[in-house]
Amino acid sequence: MVKKVLIPGLLGAFVYFSCIFISNVVFGFTAALTLKPVPNERAVYDILSASVTEPGVYTCNPPTDPERPFPGNGPVYGILYSGIGHDSAFMGELKGMLWILVAPIVAAWMLSVTSEKFISRFANRLLFFVVIGCMLAVSGDLSRFGIGGYPWSLALTFTLRTVIIWMLIGLAVAWRMQPRLFFTKEE
């Protein structure tokens, strides 16, 4: 188990952590795209604090009138309020770190239970991880696009980053995973 799955999975976790660290800490990728300053932030914060008091996902539509009950093409704002502040942010980071550790190990295990024919080719092992990255990107990042959500360009940017990260994880795991270990008789 250790040689077959855990070591390649941990290598994948190291690659995952390195990618997130380099993109977010070194280059400020996520902060630059999602933490844009709001003009007159104090006034907006005060209004939101008074108006949004319960955790949830809120949408703020443009005003309507009796002659035009549908809001039209005016901007729609999405508001996310988790109910926690900066003091509790550590738990969210801890959850993210746990995902970074566990996800590549689980993916390596999933790969290990595929057929001998499939796992024997490096390209197949890499493709396995690219497909996982595509599924996570489409169901996660790309699904954030929409009214009150991410703009299309931001959703695509995060989607592309997720696929690239999982491709790099796949390169590391596919390189380290030795198919001969799965199909030899254990003594």
Domain residue ranges in the chain: 2-39+86-181
Residue 19 CA to residue 87 CA, distance in Å, equals: 26
45: left (phi over 0), alpha (psi -120 to 50) or beta: alpha
Work out the percent of the chain whose per-residue pLDDT is above 90: 51
Give the separation between CA 27 and CA 163, rounded to whole angstroms.
Answer: 18
Query: What is the mean predicted confidence (pLDDT) over 67-83?
Result: 79
List the alpha helices (DSSP H) in the chain: 7-20, 29-34, 41-51, 89-112, 116-119, 122-136, 152-176
Q: What is the pLDDT of residues 145-179, one digit of tens each?
A: 887 678 899 999 999 999 999 999 999 999 999 77
CB atoms within 10 A of CB 161: 19
Provide the sign of the torsion angle of the four alpha carbons 122, 124, 125, 130, taken in this order: positive
pLDDT tens figures, 3-23: 789 999 999 999 999 999 999
In the prediction, which pLDDT does 50 show? Answer: 93
Confidence band, pLDDT 50/70/90 cuts, at residue 182: low
Q: What is residue 63's predicted lDDT score, i.e. its pLDDT?
A: 76
Which whole number is the average pLDDT over 99-103? 94
User: What's the pLDDT score for residue 187?
Assistant: 40
- CA atoms in the 13 A half-sphere facing the CB of 124: 13
